Structure 1
Amino acid sequence: MAGQVRPAPPPQQPTLLVRRRALGGIPDVPRPQDLSTEEARALSETLFRRLAGLDEGTPEHACVRNTLVELNLSLVRFAARRFRGRAEPAQDIFQVGTIGLIKAINRFDVARGVDFASFALPTITGEMKRFFRDTSWAVQVPRRLQELRLRLAAARDVLGQELGRPPTTAELAAHLRITEAEVAEGDQASNAYTARSLDITDDDSGATAVLRTLGREDPSFDVIECLDALKPLIAALTDRERTILSLRFVDELTQADIGERVGLSQMHVSRVLTHIMDRLRTGLLDDGPAP
């Protein structure tokens, strides 16, 4: 529903017996959100392995998944900070990000050896961006047409992949089991989704006068924000750690080459880099209380 986020119902508290069966010997943490980032990361990996052995739809599976959600809510808070200047309520953004977190948990395969935070953040951020997209209507449009626009967009993606070309109006109508007139109506509703300039394109870049006046969003802003957040964390490293970090990510040397430069074995360099990245990740994800 555009402009609103329907809050998910609070998860039912599992009985003690169900929780014991769900954890299967894993220590129970009454308040997972109170753990440090490193503790939460280690416990998450253990719980993901436990989750893979449980049948989806069972109370045990739901219990472990809910615990994983609580453990990783800091990822939602981290992603939400990128959009703190938006007009939408912070609580709505947080709820939408939590939906993205749940999707990431459902799709994550711990056997691949990928860090969950790196896997989940794009999904969480994507869910937030989809929320902004679906609530950015230039004028008031009936809910029926808003939903029709979303169905048409999804159908175009599916049929476009199957056909290898944009689907026709007749093909969209047949796929969605609606009339061609309804397809046209949904397309008209899309015009109210984003207000477009009436200026005529008058240069080779395709930019209208309004776009040239307003400018475009610079993707480097995100990079600057991340670098600014990293500065105090990097400053807290030792001289040797900063040197190793620079050799790896500025000079792009291999771990073996770094070892020769600083007089360490490749394995030792690997351990130092892992320790550095863990500290930086912990510092970036460390945040205050949830909205």
Structure 2
Amino acid sequence: MTLPTRQGTTTARRVNRGHDSYDGIEPLLAELAAMAGHDPRRTALRELCLRRCLPLADHIARRFTGRGETYDDLHQSASLGLVLAVDRYDPARGTSFLAFAIPTVMGEVRRHFRDRTWALRVPRRVKETQLAIGPVIEKLSQHCGRMPTAVEIAMELDLDLIEVTQALLAGNAYRTNPIDSPADDAGGPVPAQITEALGANDPSYELCEDAIAVAPLLRRLSERDRRVLYLRFFENRTQAQIAEEFGVSQMHISRILSRTLAALRARALRD
């Protein structure tokens, strides 16, 4: 089955202004439900029902525009929800088609926001709360003339303040910006990129890595060898001053340093 394009939907809406094409759709759906699955007329009748009801998907998709998603994506999800509504509608229950279809289509659009539009992994419960917050903020903003607080939102939704706060913070995970995108506060004729505001590589990181690698090896040295290294590299004493403290020759201290440093280097590279 091929659904009409957005242009066709818009044209149909203009022609039927003041009268929706899905008004009185129940008799057709009842006829569809009564047909056997192998009836050759079933496909054509089902497509007719979908075409007549497609403006409903358009109306609902437009209700959700302006929330970070394109109309085309929303219309696609709403159309899928409409297909589900037509296929699942049971006229025998006595419920109008609209009463059944609207929650089905809106649920599919909300599922699109919940499952397909988040840049980072967020718990489902937090996603659902975050989606419910948007309409509440609009409602409270019009009523109060200002942005509502988290406490006011929590009271309106009858939720715990912590849940609302988590959902508000989760909004930061909805979209991520490429690292080479223009910075928000960039001025001038040519917008600066985020990468231009990042710091340079810190050479101290390499020093920290070396210190972490050598630390356990230093603990394996004898007390004398550790003392010699400490005096030489932390107190900046000369080999002669160290030799005087230990009562040995300067050449002996030189051999201790050479041997100890060579052993540390070999073990660090090996590990």
| TM-score range for the pair, normalised by the shorter chain length | 0.3 to 0.5
TM-score using structure 1 length:
0.37
Which structure is higher in RCO with an 8 Å CA cutoff and minimum separation 6? 1
TM-score using structure 2 length:
0.40
Please tell me whether Structure 1 or Structure 2 has the larger radius of gyration of its CA atoms.
2
